[in-house]
Amino acid sequence: MAENDEYVPDFDISRPTIARVYDAILGGKDNFAADREGAAAYMKYVPNAKDVALDNRAGLKKGVEYMARKGIDQFLDIGAGLPTMENTHQIAQAINPDAKVVYVDNDPIVLAHGRALLATNKSTTIVTADLRDPQSILDNEEVQAALDFTRPIGLMVVGLHMHFHDDEQPDEWVRVLMDACPSGSYLLITDFVDTGEPLQKAIEQAGLESLGNGWIRTPERIREHFLGLPLVDDKLEFIPRWFPGEPDREVPAVEDLEPWHKIMMGGIAYKA
Ligand code: SAM
């Protein structure tokens, strides 16, 4: 504890972290010089990097709204990131004021900045834990206290699953979490995609240069992250074309999308 009794997390500001780089790209203030350099690397390769982040946030919103409308009232948001515009609890609680949200992130700065949220929102919990050790998330006392694992849960792995991890284990980590969620639960994922567009390769290059990770994956590989569970509307889609639960909605043609709108895809799976 520091002298003023404030909890000061132990973090290294000389190296960029994805939570803070993402915050810098989105125009937030919770970042340091090294993170702004990381954000600049993204902008160098993908000048519309902020639009990519905004697409991802739009995907998060569409997914949470879909699940909340389906009656999901407890959410486990892994890799939650720093508080930004329209966070998961605000989106869910706009539909169901009693919705509970547990945010998990392995970057301690997220907990530090989330404390203000904790003070004002009794239905929101923030935990520092790592997707790569999923059992530690399930065993966490605060997670156990906040969520009822006998009732359906909306598991969220938005903007981090594959692309910040190599290809060896991520599906098994998510499987451990999904196995703990009962039938009626959902799995929401957004990811960097590889459909052969040069700008997709450019964002991978930016990530590798600034953070040492940020791989792109084919749609077929991203589908595997859903562990064989059926996708809502059978859709894994570029986010501007993705409206879960609205299969007949008119959406822009792929050819009409700007290249940066084709960097991320979203999907939701249902556990019957
Ligand atoms: N989910 C938010 C969104 O989509 O807007 C934030 C995405 S941000 C690009 C990725 C977040 O995942 C960062 O806050 C990072 O610290 C976190 N993260 C990356 N790897 C993680 C891991 N293994 N376990 C938990 N969090 C992780």
Residue 173, domain CATH: 3.40.50.150
**Nearest Cα to 162, choosing from 220, 111, 102?**
220
Give yes or no for residue 1 having a pLDDT over 70: no
Report yes or no on 248 lying in a domain. yes
Report yes or no on 260 lying in a domain. yes
Q: How many helices (H) and strands (E) does the chain have?
A: 10, 7
Report yes or no on 24 lying in a domain. no
User: What is the mean pLDDT of the segment spanning 64-82?
Assistant: 97
Residue nearest to atom 6 of ligand 1 (CA): 81
In this predicted structure, what is the pLDDT of residue 116?
A: 76
In this predicted structure, what is the pLDDT of residue 85?
A: 83
Cβ neighbours of residue 97 closer than 8 Å, sequence gap 6 or more: none
Residue 78: helix, strand or coil by DSSP?
A: strand
- In this structure, of 2-11, 160-169, 218-227, the range with the lowest mean pLDDT score is 2-11
Report yes or no on 20 lying in a domain. no
Range of the domain at 248: 50-196+215-270
Evaluate whether 157 touches 189 at the Cβ level (below 8 Å): yes
The Cα 244–Cα 236 span in angstroms is 10
The Cα 173–Cα 253 span in angstroms is 35
Does 80 sit in the ligand 1 pocket, CB within 6 Å?
A: yes
Report yes or no on 14 lying in a domain. no
Does 87 sit in the ligand 1 pocket, CB within 6 Å?
A: no
For the chain, list the strands marked E by DSSP: 74-78, 100-105, 124-128, 154-158, 186-192, 237-238, 264-270
Report yes or no on 2 lying in a domain. no
Does 153 sit in the ligand 1 pocket, CB within 6 Å?
A: no
Task: Quote the number of domains for the chain.
Answer: 1
Residue of 163 and 173 predicted with greater confidence: 173
Does 207 sit in the ligand 1 pocket, CB within 6 Å?
A: no
Report yes or no on 152 lying in a domain. yes
C-alpha 248 – ligand 1 centre gap (Å):
32
Does 16 sit in the ligand 1 pocket, CB within 6 Å?
A: no
Look up residue 255 and give its two tokens.
Answer: 């050819």
**Nearest Cα to 64, choosing from 151, 156, 185?**
156
Report yes or no on 23 lying in a domain. no
